[in-house]
Amino acid sequence: MSFVFGDSMEVREGLSKKNRTQRFAVASLAAGVVLLALLCLFVGSSHMTVGECVSALFGKGSAAQVRIIQNIRVPRMLAAVVAGAGLSVSGLIMQTCLNNSMASPSTLGVSNAAVFGANLSIIAFAGGFLSTGHNTANYTAGMNPYAASLTAFLFAALSILLILGLCRLRAFRPGVVVLAGIAIGAVWTAATTILQFYATDVGLSAAVVWTFGDLGRATYRTDLIMAITVLAGIVFFAVLSWKYNGLLSGDAAAKSMGVNVDLLRFLSLLIASVITAVCVSFLGIIGFVGIICPHVIKRLLGQDHRVTIPASALSGSILLLAADTFSRCVGNGSALPVGAITSLLGAPFFLAIIFSRKEEHV
């Protein structure tokens, strides 16, 4: 009896130590987000001092300085925090639901559909063969960035519903979802290529620029829309975290715990895809966040979704803030596409993780 009691004490102490470590890690990530957000406000091509940035943040200083901080850098910083969190958590949930560590928001073809929608709006209705022809002045007058974002979101949402609807016709298995996403994504990519083939130079240039992940187009309005969507999605995922933990043990084990696996997978993929669609429609394609951040968090903190959901959100914000800060430091007066920076920062690190894993022997 004493041995059993001693073993149980050791188990409780081990769990308590693990919980403290996880809480410390989440707190450290939160502190990292705050520090990087402040750094993001102080970095730029205007060469403002820290004191001038702080003064402009509170509406003091020259009109140009106030405009740079309040109308450009603050919305940009908020977009990095919100979009980074949303894309990262979406990737985590997709990896869990599809039982695939390489799954990401692009797995279901959401990004492909959004690109087609934006190209359709820009090329056909604002800067292309149906509206302005080769007249650059007409293009400038007719261009509406919110129309492109709305069209991108609508096509992304249509793609989500189409894929999930096709999967409902058959057994709703992870493999079926992935294959359907690849097939539908290829269709959207082909349609985009055909559309760009008939575009004018002006329309094609505008469409290509839209696909770059650019936080500079963020405004307080777009930040608010993204924040509401991302926050609602994260709360939904956090409430159901115990169900995702059950799903890790397999469908049969999750069903024995009372989890409606098919419904959980359907709703989770739908909400994760909607979050991705909203972020992509406003900011363009920002890849890799949904793969690298959840993967690193799971390796460091384990698989418990009560921890990995907030930790993934914070790590996604950190990665996008760091990428945006870096893009403005090396841009020589203009910010490089943040989507390219996330890939440049994340790909080597991700490869290092893959090749550092020890092979499992049976």
Per-residue pLDDT reduced to its tens digit, 223-253: 999 999 999 999 999 999 999 999 988 888 8
Higher pLDDT, 165 or 282: 282
Alpha carbon distance 38, 42 (integer Å):
7
Average pLDDT over residues 148-159: 89
pLDDT tier at 15, thresholds 50, 70, 90: low
Tabulate helix, strand, coil % of the chain (nearest 5). Answer: 80, 0, 20
Position 175 in a domain? yes
Greater model confidence, 137 or 338: 338
Domain membership of residue 10 (yes or no) is no
Q: Do 102 and 153 form a contact (C-beta atoms < 8 A)? A: no
In a domain, 205, yes or no: yes
- The pLDDT, as a whole number, for residue 317 is 96
What pLDDT is recorded for position 238? 96
Q: Could you tell me if residue 209 is inside a domain?
A: yes
The pLDDT, as a whole number, for residue 142 is: 44
DSSP string, 117-167: HHHIIIIIIISSTTTTTT-HHHHHHH--HHHHHHHHHHHHHHHHHHHHHHH
For residue 294, the domain's CATH number is 1.10.3470.10
What letter would DSSP give residue 360?
A: P
The dihedral built from the CA positions of residue 214, 217, 222 and 224, taken in this order, carries a sign that is positive
Domain range enclosing 284 = 77-356
Question: How high is the pLDDT of residue 24?
Answer: 92
Give domain status of residue 3, yes or no.
no
- Number of domains into which the chain is organized: 1
pLDDT band at 11 (very low <50, low <70, confident <90, very high): low
Q: Is 350 exposed, middle or buried (0-12, 13-18, 19+ CB in 10 A)?
A: middle
> How high is the mean pLDDT of the chain?
83
Q: Euclidean distance between the first and final Cα of the chain, in Å? A: 36
165/79: higher pLDDT: 79
Whether residue 58 is contained in a domain is answered as: no
Tell me the C-alpha distance between 210 and 152, whole Å. Answer: 11
What's residue 139's pLDDT?
43
Nearest residue to 201 (alpha-carbon basis) of 120, 113, 132, 148: 132
Q: Above 70 in pLDDT, residue 96?
A: yes
Query: What's residue 6's pLDDT?
Result: 52
pLDDT for residue 138 is more than 70: no
Q: What pLDDT score was predicted for residue 140? A: 45
pLDDT reported for residue 360? 42
Residue 67 covered by a domain: no
For residue 3, what pLDDT is reported?
Answer: 47
- Of residues 120 and 335, more confidence is placed in 120
The whole-number pLDDT of residue 8 equals 62
Token pair in block for residue 148: 């492109």
> Is 45 inside any structural domain?
no
